[in-house]
Amino acid sequence: MAALSPPSDKVTFWYGCNVVRHGDIIYNAIALLEAVGMEVTPAGGAGYCCGTKKDANLTAAQGMGRRNVEKFNAHNTGQVVSWCPSCYRHMNAFISQYTEPQFDLSHFIEILYERRDWLATKLIHPVTKRVLLHQHLGFHEVDINPMVIALLRLIPGLELMTTSPLAPAHMCSELSRVPASLKVVNQQTCESMRRSGADTLATVFHSCQRLLCGLEASESFTVVNYVNLLAQSMGLVSVDEYKDWKLAGTAQAVIDRLGPDRVAKMGEPFFHASILPELLSPPIK
Amino acid sequence: MISFKGKPSADHLVEHLESFIQDTLARCTQCGECFKACPMTEYGPGLKEARPQEAVAGILDWLKGVPNHATSLDWLKVCTQSSVCIKACPENINVMKMMRTAQISALGSLGAQPALKSRDEKDFFRKINAFSATQLTTEEIEKWQR
Ligand code: SF4
């Protein structure tokens, strides 16, 4: 039987760059870590970019790697918990080879899985959904799919199906480099949803949520990241605003949903040139 | 969980890549198992008919800094880090890292003539900052992102 409360551990939660589109995922991930006893120092955004995209500029890549290790060492938590599989991979395979990290590196799912007995005591609200899990096969460093499956099975009322084919790459953003492959994966995903009779597609990674959530415009299922399902079962209410913008359909509807203040904060010309095209582009199908 | 213990094996990134390259060149037997296992070859022109050993030889050429513009480049273009290649390698080479290092070489970062386009996204950081401002409070950005 689980002890009444988990041991407290200080961790730096390295949420990454691209996940900042999904504040709901960041807040829920922090809430989940706290629920299993972690004392969390969040870190992410451009100032903590791992540099994995900088292969064409190794001076920049190295500078970013060193900067992150220095900042994490200064956090003095002794443990960095990464959300993003690319950050995890880049820290492990490259950055740690020429720096001196004074911390251990874990992936977010490993912490929750290790402390799943405590997590289970917090998952008290039924989530009555028929869920199909969207899975990739590329995150070889951490066997994430079985762990996500085990955690989702702790949610009362949730019926989980795992019949979707394993997509190549470690997450959908990598597949988007080869659009034909992303198209095949998306078609297979929609087909699996139809065949399974599921009403909810659960994504594991933020980039899958980003690239798949727009399917709701044309399909009869919802797309939700798994941490939001866990958070819902803890009684937390979250809004996937990014999905809301993706489903807005027109430029004016996106602006209405964002509100003029936030558009102004982004800078109107930049919003129109760079943000809006992303939000208006439908998923490849 | 990974523990990073002791001194790093290299002082800087290029030194690490050079040592990874030497190790890989010494151990790879060019058996082609990684290419045969790759789930992405159906998306590259000419890869379906390519000889696995030749494709791998081309990757090793990139590691040596010798441009190889045919099959190997097509393979590098469709690599999405599926990691299936790692499990397929009988020599326990991190083939995904081998592919990534060959990509780095084909981008021109290790001295060869560039043959691949950079994956650097235009306005990447500006976009990250813009989305952050919509999702996090000013205090959170100040505390979490500096
Ligand atoms: S499977 Fe391993 S040994 Fe065989 S060609 Fe690929 S990297 Fe070389």
Query: Do the domain assignments include residue B35?
Result: yes
CATH number of the domain encompassing residue A217: 3.40.50
State the pLDDT at residue A135. 97
Q: How far is A64 from chain B (nearest CA, A)?
A: 11
Query: Do the domain assignments include residue B13?
Result: no
Q: Is the CB of B23 under 6 A from ligand 1?
A: no
Q: Do B81 and A169 touch (CB under 8 A)?
A: yes
- Atom 1 (ligand 1) nearest CA: B89
Residue where a domain stops, chosen among A113, A145, A180: A113
Q: A106: which chain B residues are within 8 Å (Cβ-Cβ)?
A: 1-2
Query: Do the domain assignments include residue B109?
Result: yes
> Is it the case that residue B121 has pLDDT exceeding 90?
no
A143 with A251, same domain? yes
Q: Is the CB of B31 under 6 A from ligand 1?
A: yes
State the pLDDT at residue A127. 98
For ligand 1, mutation pick of B24, B27, B29, B83 (most atoms within 8 Å of CB): B29
Please tell me the number of Cα atoms within 13 Å of A77 on its side-chain side: 23
Q: Please indicate if any CB of chain B lies within 8 Å of the CB of A42.
A: yes
Domain that holds residue A151: 123-285
Please tell me the number of Cα atoms within 13 Å of B25 on its side-chain side: 15
State the pLDDT at residue A1. 47
- Atom 4 (ligand 1) nearest CA: B31
Query: Do the domain assignments include residue A56?
Result: yes
A182 with A67, same domain? no
Query: Do the domain assignments include residue A38?
Result: yes
Count of domains observed in chain B? 1
Q: Rounded mean pLDDT of chain B?
A: 94
A149 with A196, same domain? yes
A77 with A181, same domain? no
Query: Do the domain assignments include residue A180?
Result: yes
CA dist A166 and A145 (Å) reads 10
A79 with A184, same domain? no
Q: Which residue ranges in chain A fall short of pLDDT 50? A: 1-2
A237 with A273, same domain? yes
Query: Do the domain assignments include residue A3?
Result: no
* A41-67 residue pLDDT tens: 999 999 999 999 999 999 999 999 999
CATH number of the domain encompassing residue A65: 3.40.50.1860
Q: Tokens in use for A66?
A: 């060193």
Q: Do A180 and B131 touch (CB under 8 A)?
A: no
State the pLDDT at residue A3. 54
Long-range contacts of B139-142 (CB under 8 A, 24+ apart): B140/A42, B141/A45
> For residue A93, which amino acid is it?
A
**How far does the centroid of ligand 1 lie from the alpha carbon of residue B52, in Å?**
10
A53 with A154, same domain? no
Q: Do A274 and B96 touch (CB under 8 A)?
A: no
A151 with A283, same domain? yes
Q: Could you give the C-alpha distances from A211 to A3, A154, A172, A192, in angstroms and in order?
A: 40, 27, 7, 17
State the pLDDT at residue A5. 67
Query: Do the domain assignments include residue A263?
Result: yes
Count of domains observed in chain A? 2
Size of interface A-B (CB pairs under 8 A): 177
* B19-69 residue pLDDT tens: 999 999 999 999 999 999 999 999 998 898 999 999 999 999 999 999 877
Nearest by CB to A55, from B9, B109, B134: name it. B109
A150 with A272, same domain? yes
A206 with A259, same domain? yes
Q: B131: which chain A residues are within 8 Å (Cβ-Cβ)?
A: 20-21, 275
Domain that holds residue B113: 26-144
Q: How far is B52 from chain A (nearest CA, A)?
A: 19
